[in-house]
């Protein structure tokens, strides 16, 4: 009886999003994954010119054919994989992600093409959030798994305070895979099965 009460209390403490969140694995060439992550690390610290999705960060969306200042969280991740693919001289079919600047389209792709696994974060997973009643969301790459659902990520189109001043760009962040981000609920994780 005590055990059932304890499970009930724990269930109440979990955010509803954590119960519905899923993890899907999609295949990815191991060398491509390692190179893409190395490129991602090299993007950390790139700032927007004026805080309006502008400046050097436009390179992420421009490679997808978008002109102007767009949100680039998903485009930045796609760009890193594309740069790695080109560097390794691999055919286009080796790119594991769809060519999109929409985080939730990447998750929808993982649902269609991937294999559902246990909802537990792994290094290099992509964590996806979704805004209620919208296609809008956010995506980041897990670079370190910490305790209690916390992860350290590389986040494109995020903000950070550097030497007392707020900047927009590409930064390391600490997130929790069980909790919302602003008003967006966690949709799930995209993992990579190395082939």
pLDDT of residue 69: 94
Contacts of 40 (CB under 8 A, 6+ apart): 76, 77, 80, 141, 143, 154
pLDDT of residue 56: 97
Instruction: Decide if pLDDT at 15 tops 50.
Output: no
CA pair distance 166, 68, nearest whole angstrom: 23
Residue 144 Cα distances to 34, 71, 82, angstroms: 14, 24, 22
- The domains of the chain, with CATH numbers, are 15-194 (3.90.1720)
**127-143: per-residue pLDDT in tens?**
999 999 888 999 999 99
Instruction: Decide if pLDDT at 17 tops 90.
Output: no
**Predicted confidence band of residue 19 (pLDDT cuts 50, 70, 90):** low
Contacts of 160 (CB under 8 A, 6+ apart): 166, 167, 169, 171, 172, 173
> Quick one: average pLDDT of 149-166?
96
Q: Please give the angle made by the CA atoms of 153, 155 and 158, to the nearest 5 degrees.
A: 135
pLDDT of residue 14: 47
**Predicted confidence band of residue 2 (pLDDT cuts 50, 70, 90):** low
């Amino acid at each position: 009886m005590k055990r059932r009460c304890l499970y009930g209390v724990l269930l109440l403490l979990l955010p509803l999003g954590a119960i519905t969140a899923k993890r899907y694995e999609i295949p990815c060439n191991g060398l491509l994954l390692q190179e893409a992550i190395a490129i991602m690390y090299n993007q950390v610290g790139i700032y927007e010119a004026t805080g309006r999705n502008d400046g050097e960060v436009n390179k992420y969306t421009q490679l997808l054919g978008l002109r102007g200042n767009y949100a680039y969280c998903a485009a930045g991740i796609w760009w890193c994989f594309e740069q790695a693919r080109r560097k390794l001289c691999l055919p286009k079919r080796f790119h594991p992600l769809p060519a999109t600047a929409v985080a939730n389209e990447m998750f929808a792709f993982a649902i269609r093409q991937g294999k559902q696994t246990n909802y537990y974060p792994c290094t290099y997973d992509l964590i996806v959030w979704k805004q209620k009643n919208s296609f809008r969301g956010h995506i980041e790459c897990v670079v370190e798994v910490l305790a209690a659902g916390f992860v350290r990520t590389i986040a494109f189109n995020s903000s950070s305070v550097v030497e007392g001043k707020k900047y927009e760009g590409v930064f390391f962040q600490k997130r929790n895979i069980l909790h919302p981000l602003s008003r967006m609920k966690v949709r799930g994780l995209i993992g990579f099965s190395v082939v």
